[in-house]
Each structure stands twice: as C-alpha cells, then as structure tokens.
Amino acid sequence: GNQVNLSFTQIQEMMGRSKEESEIPTKIGRQHDLYTLMNKAALHNLKEFILSKSLKHHAWILSLELNMSATFLNVIPKCPSMTFDNSQFRILVNLRLFLDQPDLLPGIRCDCARNPTIDNRCHHMLTSCSKMAFGLRVHNSVLNTLKECLQSGGLMVTREPMHMFQGVFDADSQFTEKEKNMRPDLYIHGKRDSAYEVYKNIVIDASWIHPFPIYGNAPYTEEKSLTRELHGKRRLQEKRDKYEAIATANNLKFYPIIFENTGGIISESYEYLQELLKVFSGGYKEGALLRQYWKNRISCAYFHSVATEIQTKIKYLTGARYVDQRYENRASFIQESSSISYPN
C-alpha cells in the first residue's frame, strides 16, 4: 500500500469531527474515528499529488470537501427525488471525479453566444452557458426544494417577492429605483403557529459559482488553488454588496446562500442553512434526522438538475450534428414526406 507520512499536528487536525458528522448520533466510536483518519490521510496524499499535476484539479478537490457536495451519493433511493438512473449517475460520478463525459463528442461547439468548444468535462455547461436557461432551471429546482422544506416546518415563504425594498423612508436617497425593485429569491414572513421572531423577515438569495475560472487568460496560481472557497466567498460578498444595505434599511435580515458547482455549500452559507433548519428542532433525536433528510433533498435537487441538463444539452448538440449530415432526418424532409398521399 501507499505510505502515509503525517505530523502529529496534522493527525490532531484530522481527528476533528465535522459538524455534519456530529449531528448524526450513529457516527461515533473508535472504528468510525479510525476509518475517518485513514480516509483523511489518503486524501492528504491525493491532494499533494494532484497539486503537482493540475492546479484546477486541486481547487476542484478542495471544493469537494465542502458540506453537502457528496450528499447525493449517500441517500437511500426510496423516492423519485432521491433516485438517479444509470446515465444520470454516470454523468455525476464523472463530474465529481474530474473525468471526461463519455457521451460528449470531442471538439463539438456550444450553440450559446460565446460559441466555445465544450470542454471534455462539460464544466462550461455548469455556469458559463446561458443557452436553454440551464442555470435558471438548476437555480429554480434548488430554491423550490428549499421553499418546500421551510414550508413543511410551518414557515410562510414567498418566491421572488415584489416590492420588498419599498419601505425605506429616512435613507430613501441612498438607493436607486432599480435597487428598490430588486427581487430576492425567497422571503420568509415568519412562523404560522407562533410569534417566534427568529424566522421573521428574512430574505434569501442563492447563487452557484465554479471553484476556478473555466475561460480567460488570467494566470491561475498555486496560491489561488490552495485558497478554499476563493470564488464562493467573492460571490458571497457580491450578494452582500447588492442586498445587505437595502435589506437592513427595510428591517430585513439577509441570508446569501452560495454553492460551488461541485454541489458543496460554502461554510458561511452552510451556517445560514443550519439556522433555517433549526425550525425542525423537536421530535425524534431533536429533529437531526429530519434536518439531514432536507439537506439530502436539496442536494439531490441540484444534482438531478445538473445531470438532466448536461444529458439534454449533449443530446441536443449531437442530435443537431447528426441531422445536418443526413437529409432524411431534417425537419423539411419529414414534413414533405408526411404530406405525400399514396394510392390505395
């Protein structure tokens, strides 16, 4: 086997249990600790090796360490929302392992405005392609699941509310009409069955970002590759710059929820999500299993959308290429053939 050389300090750091693990009461004991330590040691060696080979691959691995990036792999397929067919699962596993997508024809160009050659791993489709509303459908799928989650906990939630920031009086001149007309993704009014103020007047805006630049000529340095959540934190700050001041002026709390395209949620946004999921704080094991169920649902909603969109886009592009080379498959030929009447 591979030799693992670790300092005592590194072993101490590895022994720390993640917040997700500490929530599940069954993940305890010496055997689990030993298994976790061995996995972390192997991961440490892998990152050292990958860093010497590919900086972007290393950034991808760091992103995979974020909370919820692997959740879809551990769910029990008891319902359609947590079940993936073979082709979807193959797409997602190849995506996670930084491998080429086998169904993509090499050298094929996207039909979006930039018209680039699609990279073999289909990372272009995750955030850089605006054609066919790819990002919008993924975004809506996750936000609708989060809305369903919060409503099941008794919260009153509205999707993309209008006139949210019109209640500014004293500092009215600070904000433009465009800013006042902004529509965040979710607005939480409060809790139906009590006057509990914790869940009142919260606005949420969510976004997805790639852990490294897909295009561009700017140098991608080792320092950037080693910095966790570099692009995620930048997007988080962009959302705060956009919403936080005007939300505060309207007596609202603002929660930016930022995912990276590995499916992982950045640490600060994960804390916000945990706060929201505290609405499930009673019942069996203080609601820990129910909170995990909804995190599973949110993760699966994202990966279902990603797999479906990549699958659909590849079929569309390769289908168009196939049709152009064969006259009998063109729409005009099919239409002409169907209009011909034959004698009995």
DSSP notation for 195-241: --GGGSSEEEEEEEE-SS-SS-SS---HHHHHSTTHHHHHHHHHHHH
Burial 303-341 (b: 16+ CB within 10 A, else e): bbbbbbbbbebbeebeeeeeeeeeeeeeeeeeeeeeeee
Tell me: pLDDT of 329 over 50: no
Dihedrals phi, psi of 21, to nearest 5 degrees: -65, -40
Please count the CA atoms within 13 angstroms of the CA of 266 that sit on its side-chain side. 26
pLDDT digits (tens, 9 = 90+) for 275-307: 999 888 776 677 888 899 999 999 999 999 999
pTM, full prediction: 0.81
Q: Give the Cα separation of 127 and 116 in Å (integer).
A: 13
Tokens of 97: 């392992």
Beta carbons within 8 Å of 2's beta carbon, 6+ residues apart: 42, 45
Q: How far, rounded to the nearest angstrom, does the alpha carbon of residue 127 sit from its chain's CA centroid?
A: 11
pLDDT at 279: 85
Rounded to whole angstroms, the Cα distance separating 120 from 160 reads 35
d(CA 310, CA 257): 23
Specify the DSSP class assigned to residue 257.
E
pLDDT digits (tens, 9 = 90+) for 205-251: 999 999 998 877 778 999 999 999 999 999 999 999 999 999 988 88
- CA 7 from chain centre, in angstroms, equals 34
Q: Which tens digit of pLDDT belongs to each residue from 83-136? A: 999 999 999 999 999 999 988 888 888 888 878 888 899 998 887 787 776 788
The CA distance from 323 to 308, in Å, is 22
In the predicted model, is pLDDT for residue 195 greater than 50? no
Who contacts 11 (Cβ-Cβ below 8 Å, separation ≥6)?
A: 37
Q: What is the DSSP letter of 306?
A: H
Identity (one letter) of the amino acid at 341?
S
pLDDT, tens only, 129-140: 877 767 888 899
Q: What burial class does residue 20 get, using C-beta atoms within 10 Å of its C-beta: 0-12 exposed, 13-18 middle, 19+ buried?
A: middle
Categorize the per-residue pLDDT at 63 as very low, low, confident or very high, splitting at 50, 70 and 90: very high
